[in-house]
Amino acid sequence: MSKREVREEVLRVRKALTPDEVRLLSGRVRENLLSLPEFGAAKIIASYVAKKNEVQTADILRGALASGKKVIVPRSDLTSVRLRFHEIRALEELHPGAFGIPEPPTSSPTVPLAKSDVVLVPVVAWDCMGHRLGYGKGYFDRELRSRGNAPCIGLAFEFQCRDSIPATPADVPMDLIVTDQRVLRFGANSP
């Protein structure tokens, strides 16, 4: 299957989830994420802000802020087709931005992704080799190259797994995938 076909198939299934199912499955992903030593030790968390039926990040971000972690989230720059990460101190600072995704205001401090300790990445589909399929515009893949040593942690529902995801040199593989059922480690992060 092509990337487009995989994306359409998975998004069709994900779109059929009820709000209660999204909440329940996201809660299980959150529990698995919180069990990771990398997340517990992180002082600066870079994360996407969830939209629609993605793995929800609001409780993860609130918990990180409440525990004293610095949280940085992306703002889309449509001109350069890049993400700029900005520090937030509360979720109430976020307002609908590009693509309908909640974003921080331009006035919030910009923080280079390389300063983060972990990066939470949205996933449309994934495979057991750590390949991730996003929405197809390449925003996250472009920024992930500047993350330094921070592990890329894809947050996904188990049903989004496919046998194989077509990958190109522009695609950045995940170091970990955290789902509602398990945690998978890849490359240097695998046991």
**How confident is the model over 113-138, as pLDDT tens digits?**
999 999 999 999 999 999 999 987 77
Sequence letter at residue 52: K
Cross-strand partners of 44: 70
- Domain ranges for the chain, please list them: 3-185
Per DSSP, helices labelled H in the chain are 3-15, 19-34, 37-41, 58-66, 139-144
The pLDDT value recorded for residue 100 is: 84
**Secondary structure of residue 132 in the 3-state scheme:** strand
User: What percentage of residues in the chain have a pLDDT greater than 70?
Assistant: 98
| CA distances to 4, 55, 168 from 30, in Å | 28, 9, 29
Which tokens belong to 2? 């092509």
CATH number of 3-185: 1.10.287.3510, 2.60.120.200, 3.40.50.10420, 3.20.20.60?
Answer: 3.40.50.10420
Mean pLDDT (whole number) for 79-93 = 91
Element (H or E) spanning 75, and its range?
strand 70-77
Rounded to two decimals, the pTM is: 0.94
Those residues with Cβ within 8 angstroms of residue 191's Cβ, 6 or more apart along the chain or in another chain: 185
The pLDDT value recorded for residue 82 is: 86
